[in-house]
Structure 1
Amino acid sequence: MTKILMQRFPNSNKIIRHSSDYVAKQIKAIYNAVGGSMKICIWRASFVNGIIQVVVLLLILVCHTVGNTHSINCSTLDDPLPIPHKLHQPGDLVIGEIVSQVYFHYNSLSFKEQPIHVLIDEPIYYSTKMTYKATLSLLSSQHRFAPNFNCHKKSNLIALIGGCISEISTNVAIISAIHKTPQLTYGSFLTTEDDKRLFPFLYQMVPNEAHQHKGVVKLLQHFRWTWIGLMAVDDDKGDKFLQKIVPMLSQNGICYAFIVRLPKYSYVDEYIDMLIKQWESYLTVIERNVNVLLIYGEYPSFRVLRILLFLAPFLPMPPINKVWIITSQWDFASLSVQKIWDIQTFHGSISFTIHSNQPKGFQKFIQMVRPSWFKGDGFIQDFWEQAFSCSLNVSKWEEKEKICTGEENLQNLSGILFEMKMTGHSYNVYNAVYSVAHTFHAMYKSHSKHRRLEERDRLFFQNVQPWQVHQLLKRVSFNNSAGDIVHFDDNGELVSGFDITNWLMFPNGSVVRVKIGRLEPQAPQGTKLSINDEQIVWHHSFNQVLPLSVCNENCNPGYSRKKKEGEKFCCYDCALCPEGMISHEKDMDACVKCPKEQYPNKDQSQCTPKVVNYLCYKEDLGIILTILAISFCLITSLVLGIFMKYKDTPIVKANNRMLTYILLISLLLCFLCALLFIGQPGKVTCLLRQTAFGIVFSVALSSVLAKTITVVLAFMATKPGSRMRKWVGKGLANSIVLTCSLIQSGICTLWLSTSPPFPDKDVHSLKGQIIVECNEGLPSMFYCVLSYMGILAIVSFIVAFLARKLPDSFNEAKFITFSMLVFCSVWLSFVPTYLSTKGKYMVAVEIFSILSSGAGLLGCIFSPKCYIILLRPQLNNKEQLIIRKGDRI
């Protein structure tokens, strides 16, 4: 299929223009390529500002009532309000285009006099009243205004392209729906969700506007802008925009500081009043602490804003140094009178623009275009004269004007007046014409193949109806010359996305638009918006640093937001996180707790893994306690060896030698039990720690008690007639040891069978540490074990204390008294110390108590005997013992 090349010829307001004859030739070539022969007419009519007379509306009503295909003598009808600019080329099929270029300057309606309309070369503001008139002209004769009547049967309007502004598009859609003519808008969005039902023949060459709203929110979130200003056009569309965007902003944590409504357009006699009112809005924008402005509106509103910014330097008003977030309906274009106006205010703006691409050959065509190519095209003539400030009509030339040579180059125009690249709106018109052309192609191919070629073409072109184009247009899908796929969804909206554009405005008037990202509504969640931050150029006032736009300073990590009473939720104070909680990001709503195995750092800005806390062999405390335990084991073994070597000496045989061996072995095991408390707790060590310690120490204390009772009974038995002799012997001592030990063993067995100790982690007791410990299961059982040992120690101490005055050579009660005093002192101080410490130090306290109490028993009981055995052997004999006994008697 032959490609159609669209051109863009903006006038002073930079609206899209097309080379009618060029497009006609290209579309005709399509059908010539498939063996067809037809004529295509592209008719463009401008709509002008003015007053639609009542007769026009009545005529429309009459025409609709009479019928759709009545033939009349068009020469008998005069046009009550002729359009000064239009271009019509006769053909079998007509594609109509509605563009905006020529305007009437008029005052507000008073109904007291005939409205005066004066055509001027510069527009003031848009008005859509003449849209009806221009659209009806497309449905009328080439030279006569006869809407709804077929004056030239060969002029068959089968599609409309336009317009760019929503109100214009909907006005055209009213008429196109009546005639069942498909209409393709190239820049406007449907104003309501019901518009598709109201205007079923309306196609949008843009995506659904809801996608743009979501993209705006994602853009603000991307840059963390939470405090913005809203500016919206003061009409129904602006109202609906605010109704949709404000809740979306709030739901995504974004607040607006103010809402400024921009006028849509104004009558000339109301223009000064409008400007005075807008100064209040200007002051609002300047004074508020907002660096980002989200602005919504269409081209007429942009002109109002341009004038306000132009007048600001002449008054003591500071410039607006903000980041402008602009919706796709805006266009940075100028009237010829505005082309010298500085627009540095918009430097660095970010806008959602209609996706565009560059068709092949477009740049070359733009560089070669000349006004002489378009004879009779008033659109091009006006644009050329206004853009280059010259006159093409020598007969109307005035001395103050210069004559256009016709060889002026469009590349020499400033970017604010004319861009050399195809913009989004131009690209949409390009795709719209191609969509209609592809639809014709599909219709032609489906036409009967059994007819002769000439008859087939004649019948085809005579019978093509707009509703037939509509039926196929909604299913059209093709690749254009720029490589993009063009097709519509079920709602008649183009399946496409938006370009994110960064606008660069230079003092010399040149404008550069840089694509910095893309909004793809069809992309997976999380990838719909893509932005290259490094490409963005910000306004000069921000020194190329990412602007901040927040109500107040951000709350740094370690703080959380605290709502200010009476303010919006984006305005807040910062409160330090409570103890044990953190905030790891800026502006967190609430502080959070760290996971169990982590703890807050000093700044409470992040969680740090906790240090594992247990008494290990590698640290100094563990090494010292290990050395002490092993040393006491060696000393105990040495004492046991000495006693076994000198087992037949009187001092060893005295007070039951077997009890001495049991006591020494139990003390040895006590010192070894201390090693169970060192190292990372395991399942086995937790089961053995307290139970082994309790049983072994109970055996030791039982042996001490038995030795003490034996001494007492021995002296009582020496008295004449004493009945105690039958109790003196090994049987009583063994029974005491066995009974006392079995009781402790029973307590430990009950403990292990009900709720045994197990390895556990304590993440709460010590800040920043995880205590790896043995959970005692039932703490009451642990204290029962300690209490029973305490009872044995106290009983032993009392008995030994009562026997302390017996002869030293016959008993060791005096030394047992000292040993029990040490033992009781150690364990009485153990309880409060143990309860007041945590982690490895609690374990160290218990180990120290075991070692010190065991060492007390070993030292106090056996050191005097070892002294005599090793250093005073002369005292270790029976005679010496008898002499000392006599002395004592």
Structure 2
Amino acid sequence: MVLYVTTCSYSAEDPVCRIQETFDLQGLYKKGDIMLGGIFEVSFETIVPDLSFHSKPEKWNCESLDFSVFQWALTMAFAIEEINRDPTILPNITLGYRLFDNCMRLQVALRAATTLITGMDEVLTESDCKGPPPVVAIIGDPLSSHSIAISRILGLFHLPMVSYYATCSCLSNKLEYPSFFRTVPSDAFQVQAMVQLIEHYGWYWVGIIATEDDYGQYAVKSFQEEINKFGCIAFIENLPVISKRAKILQVINTIKHSTAKVIVLFSRRVDAAPLVKEITEQNITGRQWIASEAWSTATVLATEENFGAFGGTFGIAVRRGEIPGLKTFLLRINPNPVSIQNLATRFWEKMFDCKFKENLSMTNSSTLPEVKYCTGSEDVSSKQTPYTDVSESQASYNIYKGVYALAHSLNKLASCENGKGPFENKSCASITNVQPWQLMHYLKGINFTTHLGERVAFDKNGDALAIYDIVNWQRDSNGKIEIKTVGVYDKAAVTGQELTLNEGDIFWNFASGSIPESVCSKSCLPGSRKANKKGQPVCCFDCVLCTEGEISTQVDSPECFKCPPDFWSNPERNMCLMKQIEFLSYEETMGIILAASAIFGSSLSFAVLIVFVYNRHTPVVKANNSELSFLLLVSLSLCFLCSLCFIGQPSQLNCLLRHIMFGVSFVLCISCILVKTVVVIMAFKATLPGNNMMKWFGVAQQRGTVFIFTIIQSIICITWLITAPPAPSKNTKYQNAKIILECDIGSVTGFSFLLGYIGLLSLVCFVLAFLARNLPDTFNEAKFITFSMLIFCAVWLSFIPAYISSPGKYTVAVEIFAILASSFGLLMAIFAPKCYIILLKPEKNTKKVLMGRFDKN
């Protein structure tokens, strides 16, 4: 960068200090008691001089004047003249201005800033160097990169700089830029507005394009920090400040191959133009563009030609305000070609495509073609240009507020009363000799309301209150392209209500006319969870169905949650339902059949008992030990009835009863059969000569044996109940979707002893009956017992695998079936033949017949 320094010379012979050389800058000037400086980007093309330093470098030539930016410069002049006419602000003090064109070049902008703070007028003798500095503050620069460089210089002199368009969040750092203020919100707030807009529409997969300068790179950094809170960046591409087609084509290629449908572009309008042109030429559509404030309202880009690709663009725009009287002031411009108002002269020549003779006199007119001469009386209102269009006045309004902020600060300074001042010893500053650092003190605390009702103030970082318009590129009723305001972002609003949108006014440039979708992976519905894809951003994921017993109730749930113990997930995995409670009920068919069978078996046992009691004096009953038969029938009836304890919802009582009744009644039953078997064997042995065994195993011994066998089982049961009794429990091990209500046996050892004791007695009884099956007893009692015990053992042996493999309530059903089957087997095998004789063949129920059978055997 080449930087010229303004120098002075002084000698005793010539006591006047004279400026040796000045920068050749284009600008506007009006003298005043207090001068304000301004820097504007009026020209957007620059001819760079030869910098080989073989000779003195020539000046930088600025060309291609921008009418809209020239309007910005005159807005500053308008605001100053309006303040000078206002008797309530700075009475008896006239504000002046010196405005320069920065030609959109940092080198020129630095020269302009240097010239403003050093002055252009001749400096007289040292004793005459009094009064305020050349300028006390600067309005500008509009570019963030320029403002960063200029503010580093101005900060050394504590000279305030109020920018109307520099939005880089880095400029909020008061340690590095202590004298920087701005009437445009920081990019930090612009990014927040963009992110809220993106989040509002659920665009979680976003591409970013930004210029390779401070404005673009700081914005990208802030945007990444905000978007990563809920979304992801699909790609980041840098846009060169100096247009390079190869780099632009690289950006285009990234856009084409990315799945992101929403793209954010942080760029100035000049830098965005080549990209917009290339996208239009390649007809890349189906993208939702979000424009930063630097190009969101650029009418040179929002054209019919670009509408196919960029129609529907959302933009963050600085709020605009109508400035009364501005257009009238703009139409009164009157250039003087021989004055230092050379910027106005350039504007006039550009507007009317003519030349002033005074300017041509400085060149060799013989070498120029015939030209049209300017008279200076041409009618500006006859031309429809952006210069006279004050409808899009965001920048102009910010300039207007900046000038008024400085004026109000100076007015407070001038209104200070001695002894009540803010400076050392409560002193006040002098309005006729005001210093920039004194002005800064008042500027920090400024707080006033414009005629439009908008409050102007600066926060601790020198930033303006953040409020933006949300604009949308669309067609008006006449088919012309317009940049329409469709919402507002107000940082000062209630949290969560900062963004307000008029949905009905928004135009969507998509075939369906609906809101586009921009996600790497579609949202996971309730009932599933997100599973991140390895090596990809968190927004790229697969949706995995929740496992059984787990649910998710939110969209894009990161994990599934287990249902409570008594609940289970529905098939969709989005709701926990109460588990189906399962137990063998009296109300279902199986329960009814089993209960009816149990009652029938018990009734049948009692019926047989009645038959036997009624016929107790007959030979058949007497010959089969009637007392044991009666006890056996009672025990069988209990065996049938104990199965009823297994039906119905388990409770503490029936869990205790079911196994105790089962164990005791079956031991009583088997004990009776065992004693009957022993009696049969004893009876046969007693018929042999000299054998008196029956006297040792009489009725008392038989009763005692049954009692002892039964009491042993009772002791086992009591011990079991004391140590670890059965209790109702909920079983979810085998069927997760169901709660199986069952009785937990409590002690496996106790239950094993109970079953083992029954099995031992059954085995002994079976062996004895099998050995005595061929003895010549009456009606083959031993054979009937052998057959009954064979049935009993077969049932309970087959019960074990069936019990283990049966699920849920069928486990209990198998157990009941085993009880009923074994009980029916004993009842039918032992008592059916006898009932047959008693009821159907009474003629055979005689002692003679019985003795005859015995004799025959």
Match of 1:716 among 678, 685, 689: 685
Range moving further from structure 2, 162-171 or 135-144 = 135-144
Q: Please state if 1:292 is matched with 2:262.
A: yes
Change (3 A) 1:723 1:173: same
Match of 2:42 among 71, 93, 101: 101
CA displacement at 1:850 relative to structure 2: 1.9
Change (3 A) 1:370 1:692: farther
Change (3 A) 1:459 1:550: closer
- Which residue matches 2:238? 261
Q: Deviations over 1:218-251 (max 9, x none)?
A: 6656655455433221235544555665577667
Change (3 A) 1:876 1:288: same
Alignment of structure 1 residues 334-373 onto 2, 5 Å: 334=299, 342-354=306-318, 356=319, 362=322, 369=328, 371-372=330-331
Look up the SS of the partner of 1:198 in the other structure.
Answer: coil
Change (3 A) 1:733 1:537: farther
Does structure 2 conserve the Cα–Cα contact (< 8 Å) formed by 1:563 and 1:571?
A: yes
Match of 1:818 among 783, 787, 791: 787
- Which residue matches 2:28? 86
Range moving further from structure 2, 634-643 or 392-401 = 392-401
2:462 corresponds to which letter in structure 1? G
Alignment of structure 1 residues 873-884 onto 2, 5 Å: 873-878=842-847, 880-884=849-853
- Which residue matches 1:547? 516
Distance 1:593 1:348 in 2: 45
1:752 corresponds to which letter in structure 2? L
CA displacement at 1:166 relative to structure 2: 0.9
Alignment of structure 1 residues 113-128 onto 2, 5 Å: 114-115=57-58, 117-122=60-65, 126-128=104-106
Match of 2:646 among 671, 677, 689: 677
- Which residue matches 2:94? none
Does structure 1 conserve the Cα–Cα contact (< 8 Å) formed by 2:416 and 2:428?
A: no
- Which residue matches 1:863? 832
- Which residue matches 1:325? 290
1:100 corresponds to which letter in structure 2? E
- Which residue matches 1:832? 801
Range moving further from structure 2, 666-675 or 442-451 = 442-451
Distance 2:400 2:679 in 1: 119
Change (3 A) 1:885 1:233: same
Look up the SS of the partner of 2:391 in the other structure.
Answer: coil
Q: Deviations over 1:273-330 (max 9, x none)?
A: x235423432332344442323223344223434444xx53xxx33344222333444
- Which residue matches 2:365? none
CA displacement at 1:606 relative to structure 2: 7.3
- Which residue matches 2:461? 491
Does structure 2 conserve the Cα–Cα contact (< 8 Å) formed by 1:344 and 1:505?
A: no
Q: Please state if 1:303 is matched with 2:252.
A: no
Q: Deviations over 1:768-788 (max 9, x none)?
A: 333333333444543443333
Distance 1:536 1:686 in 2: 72
Distance 1:736 1:215 in 2: 96
CA displacement at 1:831 relative to structure 2: 0.8
1:88 corresponds to which letter in structure 2? K
Does structure 1 conserve the Cα–Cα contact (< 8 Å) formed by 2:623 and 2:778?
A: no
Q: Deviations over 1:761-808 (max 9, x none)?
A: 333422533333333344454344333322222222222233334456
CA displacement at 1:167 relative to structure 2: 1.5
Q: Deviations over 1:662-718 (max 9, x none)?
A: 333333333333233333333433343334322332222223223322332233233
CA displacement at 1:197 relative to structure 2: 0.7
Does structure 1 conserve the Cα–Cα contact (< 8 Å) formed by 2:232 and 2:537?
A: no
Alignment of structure 1 residues 635-654 onto 2, 5 Å: 635-654=604-623
Look up the SS of the partner of 1:772 in the other structure.
Answer: strand
Distance 1:588 1:450 in 2: 63
Look up the SS of the partner of 1:797 in the other structure.
Answer: helix
Look up the SS of the partner of 1:540 in the other structure.
Answer: coil
Q: Deviations over 1:551-586 (max 9, x none)?
A: 577778888777777766766777787788778888
Distance 1:374 1:457 in 2: 43
- Which residue matches 2:587? 618
Alignment of structure 1 residues 424-573 onto 2, 5 Å: 425=395, 428-429=398-399, 432-433=402-403, 435-436=405-406, 439=409, 447-448=417-418, 461-462=431-432, 464-477=434-447, 487-494=457-464, 496=466, 501-504=471-474, 509-516=480-487, 518=489, 520=491, 527=496, 534=503, 537=506, 539-550=508-519
Look up the SS of the partner of 1:184 in the other structure.
Answer: strand
Range moving further from structure 2, 543-552 or 817-826 = 543-552
Distance 2:708 2:247 in 1: 105
Distance 1:162 1:243 in 2: 24
Distance 1:579 1:835 in 2: 24
Range moving further from structure 2, 619-628 or 802-811 = 802-811
Distance 1:867 1:209 in 2: 107
Unaligned runs of 5+ in 2: 67-101, 359-370
Change (3 A) 1:563 1:103: closer
Distance 2:550 2:349 in 1: 68
Look up the SS of the partner of 1:332 in the other structure.
Answer: coil
Look up the SS of the partner of 2:739 in the other structure.
Answer: strand
Does structure 1 conserve the Cα–Cα contact (< 8 Å) formed by 2:267 and 2:294?
A: yes
Unaligned runs of 5+ in 1: 1-51, 66-71
Look up the SS of the partner of 1:197 in the other structure.
Answer: coil
Does structure 2 conserve the Cα–Cα contact (< 8 Å) formed by 1:217 and 1:252?
A: no
CA displacement at 1:106 relative to structure 2: 0.6
Look up the SS of the partner of 2:632 in the other structure.
Answer: helix
Change (3 A) 1:116 1:792: same
Match of 2:141 among 160, 163, 168: 163
CA displacement at 1:127 relative to structure 2: 1.6
Does structure 1 conserve the Cα–Cα contact (< 8 Å) formed by 2:583 and 2:808?
A: yes
CA RMSD of the aligned region, Å? 5.0
**TM-score, length-scaled by structure 1:** 0.74
Does structure 1 conserve the Cα–Cα contact (< 8 Å) formed by 2:470 and 2:486?
A: yes
**TM-score, length-scaled by structure 2:** 0.77
- Which residue matches 2:163? 185
Alignment of structure 1 residues 594-633 onto 2, 5 Å: 610-633=579-602
Range moving further from structure 2, 214-223 or 658-667 = 214-223
Range moving further from structure 2, 600-609 or 865-874 = 600-609
- Which residue matches 1:172? 150
- Which residue matches 1:662? 631
Does structure 2 conserve the Cα–Cα contact (< 8 Å) formed by 1:343 and 1:505?
A: no
CA displacement at 1:885 relative to structure 2: 3.4
Alignment of structure 1 residues 746-785 onto 2, 5 Å: 746-766=715-735, 768-785=737-754
Does structure 2 conserve the Cα–Cα contact (< 8 Å) formed by 1:599 and 1:767?
A: yes
Distance 1:126 1:96 in 2: 17
CA displacement at 1:262 relative to structure 2: 1.0
Does structure 2 conserve the Cα–Cα contact (< 8 Å) formed by 1:181 and 1:467?
A: yes
- Which residue matches 1:234? 212
2:710 corresponds to which letter in structure 1? S
Look up the SS of the partner of 2:48 in the other structure.
Answer: coil
Look up the SS of the partner of 1:859 in the other structure.
Answer: helix
Change (3 A) 1:601 1:487: same
- Which residue matches 2:364? none
Does structure 2 conserve the Cα–Cα contact (< 8 Å) formed by 1:392 and 1:404?
A: no
- Which residue matches 1:48? none
Does structure 2 conserve the Cα–Cα contact (< 8 Å) formed by 1:227 and 1:290?
A: yes
